[in-house]
């Protein structure tokens, strides 16, 4: 049986109805896809109620897809845990062959935030969506 190991909780006003065991955003709503979570909802909370959010250590989170233990996890659009995607970069391809370093298209990297924010690491596997997994929150 999987359980929470809670060292910290916070309260936030629920901006919408929030089911238990979902990532909760910094705005008090269900966490958006790839966004940073405040933590994980401990109990169901109706819009306008104070929601109890687990903010540190290990929390049970509902999966949104198959998960392997050790996966870095992000939130999907429903606040469920899904594996993070590998970061990749590509350069534009063209029909003209590159004959010198000066002809290479320029790759620009800007900003400081990756497209997805890691909210934790899976301590358990899940065979698909709507399974409970222990997540080490970060």
What is the DSSP annotation of 30-48?
A: BPPTTPPEEEEESS-B-TT
**Sorting pLDDT into bands at 50, 70 and 90, what band is 103?**
low
Q: Which residues of 31-70 are buried (b: 16+ CB within 10 A; e: fewer)?
A: bbebbbbbbbbbeebeeeeebbbbbeebbbbbbbbebeee
Q: Say how far residue 95 (Cα) sits from the centre of its chain.
A: 38
DSSP class of 67: B
Which of 26-40, 41-55, 85-99, 111-125 has the weakest average pLDDT? 85-99
Question: Has residue 12 got a pLDDT over 70?
Answer: yes
> How many CA atoms lie within 13 Å of 12's alpha carbon, on the beta-carbon side?
25
* pTM, 2 dp: 0.84
Q: What is the mean pLDDT of residues 20-24?
A: 98
Select the more confidently predicted residue: 93 or 55: 55
Give the model's pLDDT for residue 101.
62
């Amino acid at each position: 049986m999987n359980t929470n190991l809670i060292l910290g909780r916070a309260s936030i006003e629920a901006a919408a109805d929030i089911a238990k065991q979902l990532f909760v955003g910094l705005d008090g709503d269900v966490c958006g896809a790839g966004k940073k979570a405040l933590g994980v909802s401990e109990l169901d909370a109706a819009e306008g109620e104070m929601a109890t959010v687990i903010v540190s250590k290990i929390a049970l989170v509902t999966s949104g897809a198959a998960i392997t233990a050790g996966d870095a996890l992000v939130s999907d659009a429903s606040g469920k845990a899904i594996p993070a995607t590998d970061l990749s970069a590509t350069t534009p391809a063209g029909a003209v062959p590159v004959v010198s370093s000066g002809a290479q298209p320029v790759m620009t990297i800007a900003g400081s935030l990756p497209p997805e924010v890691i909210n934790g690491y899976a301590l358990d596997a899940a065979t698909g969506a709507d399974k409970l997994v222990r997540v080490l929150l970060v």
